[in-house]
Structure 1
């Protein structure tokens, strides 16, 4: 595979609707809308962002808000707001960190653990709809390319 990036001349003129940034944002917004629609149609009182925090806790329960923010690529105030909503809904609880009294650990409640399989199934439905018409290899390539672009812009 040729790894030579396009030249400046090949990129000009720079049509906005063909730029990587525009295409990524447009796609991300549609994916968020699709995910929220699937959750709503399934009768779940959750958003994609709340689902994402739960997903990170299903992978590793007992993280701090700072750890969750880093892993979710979100700022701490946003994660704090999401955690408050999830706590109000009874899916998570805060527990003082025994190693650092200034911090808390976020733990799944029984309700937070009980919805895991159902929400993962809805996530799979969203993924299948978003990737309809793509082969498994194309999906793997797309993920690889997106991760490479992400690393390039750091």
Structure 2
């Protein structure tokens, strides 16, 4: 019989060569996703989908393109996420009366109820994540992260840093016609 899960284990120290912003940000992101996914288990939602719900609540009536850009998700992926959430009855799209091609987003009552139910557990999880820090350190960390993100936001465009797709040549013989 397998032993019950003992919960999180202490991670080995970060390698000196990995004490760089990119690696630490990636590891912290992994940890945040894991903690959030644990809370969302059973809701058929992922942490990115939860982030979309939170953004729609915060930007209620905002344009689909505007919200996608604000949270750094490409428009096609964001549209698919909205379609999924709409199918679950958590958000709704309405035609923008000023631009019939555009859509405005709203959280539904079911979405608001879900958020109200899960938000306390998600906030408590964030508190646990930052428990090693004092209150002043938490504020300082968040302020510094916001400053770094705002100063470098131009690099955060969806797809930035991905390898460009390799195109196959329509010719043969090493590119010779």
Tell me, yes or no, if structure 1 residue 50 matches structure 2 residue 49: yes
User: Any stretches of 5+ residues in structure 2 without a counterpart?
Assistant: 1-15, 155-177
Could you say which structure has the larger radius of gyration? Answer: 2
Q: In the comparison of the two structures, how many residue pairs are matched? A: 138
- Comparing 138-147 with 109-118, which one deviates more in the overlay? 109-118
* 1:23 CA drift (Å): 0.6
Tell me, in whole angstroms, the C-alpha distance in 1 between the residues paired with 2:117 and 2:105.
21
Tell me, in whole angstroms, the C-alpha distance in 1 between the residues paired with 2:92 and 2:121.
24
Tell me, yes or no, if structure 1 residue 130 matches structure 2 residue 132: no
- Comparing 90-99 with 115-124, which one deviates more in the overlay? 115-124
Tell me, in whole angstroms, the C-alpha distance in 1 between the residues paired with 2:110 and 2:151.
40
Choose between structure 1 and 2: higher helix proportion.
1
Under a length normalisation based on structure 1, what TM-score does the superposition of the two structures give? Answer: 0.82
Tell me, yes or no, if structure 1 residue 37 matches structure 2 residue 38: yes
Under a length normalisation based on structure 2, what TM-score does the superposition of the two structures give? Answer: 0.72
User: Any stretches of 5+ residues in structure 1 without a counterpart?
Assistant: 1-14
- Which runs of 4 or more aligned residues in structure 1 lie more than 4 Å from their structure 2 counterparts after TM superposition? none
1:73 aligns to what?
A: 72
